[in-house]
């Protein structure tokens, strides 16, 4: 028997290293080649190579991005343990030592549970780590017992298949539940779900076949059969797809974080811009914000268009501060800014120019209405019941206003200078008056 096996081995090696083995001329040569390559150790070797490469990639991601991608540490550990498990299968001593086979199986088992932990962490799914620790220990005991004490290897295959089916169903449950958690993850989750459905069905089919074989009284002395090779080969394809898809998920998580960071950054910038362009006391635009609007209007207003600028000053504001205190003066500024905001149109602007001065910008005006607009502002302020607002009998608040319409090709400084001159004239003329020009 030994001589026969040695002779057969020599013939096989000769066939493999001959020039003609690449293109076999007979069906027999083709069968020999396939049977030599399509073995569990060969499949495990390719699994070792792919797992090793993915382990290096995931470890690099874990080192640099573990704060962004939750669960990537578990996935890296899963790949590392599966790589070690494949190495156990590859070493020659595994053919004679049950302990090495048990160790390789346990490493793979722990790795599959760690992948579940990683998936739960990535999707922020709450699972009981204690429950899966008990499951891992129980499965390890059953797997070890079937390896050591069971002659019929169909039992070992059944235990292995049931463990794989159970853990795969847990993967599918989490993936299905969280499939819509983020638009960046929907497609990878769909691919991952399909791959694990395929992976699970492979082991369901194999396990059913094992049960049928046992029911027929069949024995598998060595843990090797055509069904095992098929299932391991298909599993190799599916798991490499899973690893690649998981890599896409990690990448998409980084893209999702970058997108969210960009949105948050823009929101913060907008808040800062609003804060920088608005007066802290009254809430209306400040001088910087008003100047930005004036610059934009001057650069975009065409020759046949115009806008009005009204520079407003509170009459006898110093007397209000001296008589009622600066707190009352601040309240007067706040109330007046609210009045201005309520009477202007949505396309107009109002802001605090400085001290007790306000600037009102009225856009898209017709020349026929220019004189009535400042008078309307004066009337609205005069009609306010200031006594009730401040609970001060006899309290009165009026304003003086200087206005002008922007002339085509006029600069901002020239426009504001004309408004200031008109305001000065209105103040000299008396309280509650408006002077300006739109020519």
CATH number of the domain to which 302 belongs = 3.30.70.270
* pLDDT given for residue 390 in this prediction: 87
Residue 3 predicted with pLDDT over 50: no
- 224 and 346 together in one domain: no
Tokens of 289: 């914000």
Is 17's pLDDT higher than 70?
no
Q: How far is CA 236 from each of CA 43, 222, 375, rounded to the nearest angstrom?
A: 8, 21, 84
Report the pLDDT value the prediction gives residue 48, as an integer from 0 to 100. 86
Does one domain contain both 242 and 365?
no
DSSP 8-class letter at 362: E
> CA 41, CA 232: separation in Å to the nearest integer?
10
Q: For residue 269, is it within any domain? A: no
Q: How many CB atoms are closer than 10 A to CB 102?
A: 18
Give the Cα separation of 257 and 70 in Å (integer).
12
Which tens digits make up the pLDDT trace of 351-368? 999 999 999 999 887 654
Of 251, 277, 296, which marks where a domain is finished? 251
Check residue 262 and give its pLDDT. 87
Question: pLDDT grade, residue 190 (50/70/90)?
Answer: very high
- Contact 71/48 with Cβ under 8 angstroms? no
**Residue 158: alpha-carbon gap to chain centroid:** 41
Q: Both tokens of residue 52?
A: 């090793």
Number of structural domains the chain divides into: 2
Write the CATH number for 46. Answer: 1.20.1070
User: Distance between CA atoms of 137 and 132, rounded to whole angstroms?
Assistant: 9
Q: What is the pLDDT of residue 96?
A: 60
Beta bridge partners of 278: 285
**Residue 25 pLDDT greater than 70, yes or no:** no
Residue from 308, 348, 295, 347 nearest 439 by CA: 308
**Domain end among 251, 278, 300:** 251
Return mean pLDDT, the chain.
85
Is residue 264 assigned to a domain?
Answer: no
pLDDT at 102 over 50: yes
Render pLDDT for 112-136 as a digit per residue (tens, 0 to 9): 999 999 999 999 999 999 999 999 9
Q: pLDDT digits over 210-229, tens only? A: 999 999 999 888 888 888 88
Same domain for 294 and 245, yes or no, is no
Query: Do 76 and 58 form a contact (C-beta atoms < 8 A)?
Result: yes
Q: What per-residue confidence (pLDDT) applies to 15?
A: 41
281 part of a folded domain: no
Same-domain status, 409 and 295: yes
Q: Considering Cα of 326, then 327, then 332, then 334, what sign does the dihedral take?
A: positive
Q: Are residues 327 and 202 in the same domain?
A: no
Average pLDDT of the residues in 147-175? 93
Same domain flag for 234 and 310: no
Residues 329 and 185 in one domain: no
| Residues spanned by the domain of 94 | 17-251
Residues 125 and 232 in one domain: yes
Same domain, 291 and 225: no
pLDDT tens for 378-401 read 988 988 999 888 888 888 899 999
Confidence of residue 429 (pLDDT cuts 50, 70, 90): confident
Whole-prediction pTM: 0.62
306 with 381, same domain?
yes
């Amino acid at each position: 028997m030994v001589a026969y096996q040695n002779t057969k081995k020599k013939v096989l090696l000769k066939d493999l290293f001959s020039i003609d083995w690449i293109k076999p001329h007979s069906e027999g040569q083709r069968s020999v080649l396939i049977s030599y390559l399509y073995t569990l150790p060969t499949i495990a070797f390719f699994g070792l190579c792919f797992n090793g490469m993915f382990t290096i990639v995931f470890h690099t991601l874990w080192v640099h991005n573990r704060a962004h991608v939750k669960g990537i540490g578990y996935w890296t550990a899963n790949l590392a343990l599966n790589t070690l498990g494949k190495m156990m299968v590859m070493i020659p001593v595994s053919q004679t030592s049950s302990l090495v086979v048990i160790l390789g199986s346990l490493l793979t088992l722990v790795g599959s549970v760690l992948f579940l932990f990683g998936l739960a962490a990535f999707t922020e799914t709450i699972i009981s780590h204690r429950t899966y620790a008990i499951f891992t220990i129980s499965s390890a005991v059953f797997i070890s017992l079937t390896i050591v004490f069971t002659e019929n290897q169909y039992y070992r295959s059944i235990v292995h298949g049931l463990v794989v089916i159970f853990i795969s169903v847990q993967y599918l449950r989490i993936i299905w539940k969280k499939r819509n958690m983020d638009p960046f993850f929907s497609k990878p989750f769909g691919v991952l779900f399909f791959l694990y459905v395929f992976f699970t069905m492979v082991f369901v089919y194999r396990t059913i076949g094992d049960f049928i074989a046992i029911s027929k009284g069949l024995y598998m002395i060595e843990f090797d059969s055509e069904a095992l090779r098929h299932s391991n080969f298909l599993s190799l394809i599916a798991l490499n797809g899973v690893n690649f898809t998981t890599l896409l998920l990690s990448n998409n998580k980084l893209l999702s974080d970058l997108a969210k960071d960009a949105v948050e950054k823009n929101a913060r910038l907008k808040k800062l811009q609003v804060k920088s362009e608005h007066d802290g006391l009254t809430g209306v635009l400040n001088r910087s914000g008003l100047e930005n609007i004036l610059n934009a209007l001057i650069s975009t207003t065409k020759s046949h268009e115009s806008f009005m600028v009204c520079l407003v000053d509170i009459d006898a504001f110093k007397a209000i501060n001296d008589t009622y205190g600066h707190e009352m003066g601040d309240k007067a500024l706040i109330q007046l800014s609210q009045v201005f905001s309520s009477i202007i149109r949505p396309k107009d602007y109002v802001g605090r120019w400085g001290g007790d001065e306000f600037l009102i910008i009225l856009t898209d005006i017709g020349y026929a209405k220019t004189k009535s607009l400042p008078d309307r502002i004066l009337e609205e302020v005069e009609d306010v019941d200031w006594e009730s607002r401040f609970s001060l009998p006899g309290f009165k608040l009026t304003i003086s206003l200087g206005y002008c319409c922007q002339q085509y090709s006029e600069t901002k400084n020239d426009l504001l200078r004309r408004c200031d001159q008109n305001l000065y004239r209105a103040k000299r003329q008396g309280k509650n008056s408006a002077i300006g020009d739109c020519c």
